Amino acid sequence: MSSESVGEGHPDKVADYISDSILDACLAQDPASHVACETLVKSNCVVLAGEITTNARFNTEEVVRNAIREIGYTYPEMAFSADKVFVLNLLTAQSQEINNAVSKDTEEIGAGDQGFFFGYACNETEEFLPLPYVLAHKLCKKLSDERKINGVKWLRPDCKSMVTMAYDGWNPVAIENLVISTQHSADVSQQDIVAFCEKEIIPAVIPSQYLTKDTQFYINSSGSFVYGGPEADSGLTGRKIIVDTYGGWAHHGGGAFSGKDPSKVDRSGAYFCRWVAKNIVAAKLADRVEVRLAYTIGGTTPINYDLTTYGTEHCDLQKLQKALPEVFDARPGVFLKRLKMFQPIYRKTTQFGHFTKADLPWEQTDCVEALKCACC
């Protein structure tokens, strides 16, 4: 199985981060903000579009430039640079019809749209995520840390990784191949890039027991990667939905996350499903599980709430299914408050996976005992 990651300087991730930065700027002042912010980046341009209803007041252009600066696009030789981009703001107010369907005053909040959502967890890693997916993210994160923290001057923000893992049943056995592509300055050689990745990046991330004499490495295999980021390719919010979730290991409802406030259940519903799935695996009721959820627009209760354990369960499946609504109330008005989703916490979700940060509310394993009691 192969899973990939992209770095914070990838054009699509730049767009995601700008959208989530605007969302957090709204929520920081007005937790009841309704936000659906899409971003397009290309060359020296940033285009904002979508609908926002908020009492928050801030300089949108300043938020955009700060987000780009935090990613690391500050190089004067690049067309896409924090202080040089042109920002076109096409944001308008959100539809009153949607506002009428979604109220934050009671527990009977309606879902902001129809849709179906999935959450996944497994026992392969401490993150309760598939191993090749976690390793792919860690490779890109390590490249970012070398650039930002350790000051490797030739590294640039755009990068990608992919890890292909061989399995024996559900057990990861060995890495068949590993891909790293990193943007760089013009004054570093391919030989130096390969040596750096082999010495500083791969050993710091990849457990040695998964590397064999047959493992293949592809490091900047296409050659020079000086021209990257939004200068080289367009980026759009919501185009990295598999990178954001489970690396191809689980189903996906199709809705993107970034730039959307929690009333949009294609974001919050997916987070809720992940929380449920992770607690089930943490409780050792199954080795891996996928949770499924569906709503109608304005609906206060799900029209589908189900799971599959792929035959890895360690309890009575009927009891586990019955325990879901008892332990995890799937009414949006309930779980939005329980998981404290109206906080300005979404910028930290954007990069390196939405389910890889242990301090996020939906990553807590706080229902393990309740699940065990319900299934005993």
Q: Which residues pair with 208 in a beta bridge?
A: none
Residue 137: closest CA among 38, 322, 6: 6
Q: What is the largest CA-CA distance in the chain?
A: 63
Mean pLDDT of the region 189-203: 97
Task: Render pLDDT for 144-175 as a digit per residue (tens, 0 to 9).
Answer: 999 999 999 999 999 999 999 999 999 999 99
Write down the pTM of the prediction: 0.94
Task: Determine whether 151 is exposed, middle or buried from the number of CB atoms within 10 Å of its CB (0-12, 13-18, 19+).
Answer: exposed
Tokens matching residue 78? 């690049």
Residue 159: closest CA among 175, 136, 176, 182: 182
Domains observed in the chain:
2-6+131-228 (3.30.300.10), 115-124+264-375 (3.30.300.10)
Tokens matching residue 57? 């007041």
Beta strand 115-122 with 304-308 is unpaired
Q: Give SS3 for 243.
A: helix
The pLDDT mean for the chain works out to 94
Tell me which DSSP letter residue 93 carries.
P
CA distances from residue 102 to 262, 265, 301 in whole angstroms, order as listed = 11, 11, 13
Rounded Cα–Cα distance for residues 64 and 264 (Å): 22
Rounded Cα–Cα distance for residues 271 and 346 (Å): 12
Task: Render pLDDT for 319-330 as a digit per residue (tens, 0 to 9).
Answer: 999 999 999 999
Task: Render pLDDT for 105-156 as a digit per residue (tens, 0 to 9).
Answer: 555 677 777 889 999 999 999 999 999 999 999 999 999 999 999 999 999 9
Tell me which DSSP letter residue 110 carries.
P
Task: Render pLDDT for 272-307 as a digit per residue (tens, 0 to 9).
Answer: 999 999 999 999 999 999 999 999 888 888 999 999
CA-CA-CA-CA dihedral for 369, 370, 375, 376, to nearest 10: 60
Q: Give SS3 for 361.
A: helix
Rounded Cα–Cα distance for residues 220 and 205 (Å): 18
